[in-house]
Amino acid sequence: MNITEIAKLAGVSKTAVSRYFNQGYLSEEKRAAIAAVVEQTGYAPSEQARTLRVRRSRQIGVVMPRLNSESTARVVDGISLSLAGEGYQLLLANTANDPANEVAYLDTFRTGGVDGVIFLGSIFTPAHKSVLKSLHIPVVIVAQQYEGYNCVYHDDRGAARAMTELLIRRGSRRPLYLGVTARDRAAGFDRHEGYLAALKDAELPLRAEDMLLCDFTARSGYDRMREVLAQRTPDGVFCATDTIAIGVMQACREAGLAVGRQVLVAGIGDSALGRVTAVPLTSAHLHYKTSGQEAAQMLLRLMRGQGAGVRSLQLGYEVVERASTGGPECETI
């Protein structure tokens, strides 16, 4: 069913039908005739063909690293909030933490006719660099700061530092660090930096054996912590993500250790998970939703050609202390 057939059925020209769908000049009679045919056939013009013609799809592509992630969901939520009202639709691509997928989907969007891209970044490889460069539509990067691109990101270093300081203030003399790969600049490198800075400030020694690498799962936090506990009982653990912290607390619990008394634990992200655990988790709230909204606003400006140079926006954090650091009792859900 295409515009020509509809035109024939309604006894008008293709142009008239096109105008019907694009509020052009049209007599009431023709309008009615077309309306009838459209109603009856359920015809809708091919967005595909329209985009090819007008070079504008009103779709924006979002590349994200994970699906089942609260932070991702919050960012995307913020994006929708800003974009829905402007008549844009979101096309999401889940890369399942695979950089190759990220590149592939960025390329899909490049050739697929979206008007703009929001990229929830994780790791940047040369391939990313080159596909981003070849992207001739506006892009905004969220959660990572990337030289030369419009970015909205968080104060990962500050948040990590604040969490580590809190552990120390609450009595940890030798806080452990369980983090993720430094190839992820924000969640890996910067948070690690924050941890190191806090130790330095407190004049505590930096020990390589106190810094352990996990992936983004609770399972890996659990495993790593078990290994540690086989050797000794740390008095505090700073985890680069709440998810890792969940695993750590689970391991402590199984070892009969009281989280918040014997072992202090803190994470980053303030996820819902950390509010329902046996001992509620101290964390740093990051403004994920706001970052999504801001990124969308940036993208809108860029798409309207109002992009006055490259901007990069850093958002702050909020310390949320709960029972896992021995502080005040948690707020409820």
Partner DNA sequence: CTGAAAGCGCTAACAG
Partner DNA sequence: CTGTTAGCGCTTTCAG
Q: Does 15 bind DNA (CB under 7 A)?
A: yes
Least Å distance, CB 218 to a second copy, is 6
97: alpha, beta or left, given left = phi > 0 and alpha = psi -120 to 50?
left
Q: Which does 19 bind (CB under 5 to 8 A by kind): DNA, a second copy, none?
A: DNA
Q: Taking CB under 8 A as the criterion, which residues in 180-219 touch a second copy? A: 218-219
**63 near 118, Cβ under 8 Å?**
yes
| C-beta closer to DNA: residue 56 or 261 | 56
Residue 282: DSSP 8-state:
B
Picking from 298, 142, 313, 159, the residue whose alpha carbon sits closest to that of residue 242 is 159
Q: Is 16 in the site for DNA (CB under 7 A)?
A: yes
Residues contacting residue 311 through CB under 8 Å, at least 6 positions apart: 150, 151, 298
Q: Is 53 in the site for DNA (CB under 7 A)?
A: yes
Interface with a second copy includes 246 (CB under 8 A)?
yes
Q: How many residues bind a second copy (CB under 8 A)?
A: 54
Integer Cα distance of 323 and 329 in angstroms: 5
Least separation, in Å, of the C-beta of 15 and DNA? 4
257, amino acid identity? L
Angle at 261 between CA 259 and CA 263, to 5 degrees: 50
Instruction: Name the 3-class secondary structure at 24.
Output: coil
Q: Does 18 bind a second copy (CB under 8 A)?
A: no
What is the rounded CA–CA span in Å between residue 259 and residue 278? Answer: 9
Say which residues have a Cβ less than 8 Å from residue 186's Cβ, sequence separation at least 6: 121, 143, 144, 145, 153, 154, 156
Query: For DNA, which residue of 8, 9, 14, 225 counts as binding (CB under 7 A)?
Result: 14
**List 32, 36, 49, 206, residue binding DNA (CB under 7 A):** 49
333 binds a second copy (CB under 8 A): yes
Of 61-69, 178-186, 196-204, 259-267, the window that binds a second copy (rule: CB under 8 A) is 61-69
Residue 222 sits in the site that holds a second copy (CB under 8 A): yes
Query: CA-CA distance, 138 to 56, in Å (whole number)?
Result: 13
CB of 57 to a second copy, least distance (A): 8
Report the SS3 class of residue 10: helix
Contact region with a second copy (CB under 8 A), list: 26-34, 111-119, 157-165, 201-209: 111-119
Q: 196, 159 in Cβ contact below 8 A?
A: no
- Which one-letter DSSP state was computed for residue 209? G
* Among 186, 110, 128, residue whose Cα is nearest residue 152: 186
Q: Which stretch binds a second copy (CB under 8 A): 202-210, 274-282, 304-312, 317-325?
A: 274-282
Site residues, DNA (CB under 7 A)? 2-4, 12-19, 21-22, 24-27, 29-30, 45-46, 49-50, 52-55
Site residues, a second copy (CB under 8 A)? 42, 44-49, 51-52, 59, 66-70, 72-74, 76-77, 80, 89-94, 96, 104-105, 107-108, 110-113, 130, 133-134, 218-219, 222, 246-247, 249-250, 254, 272-273, 276-278, 332-333
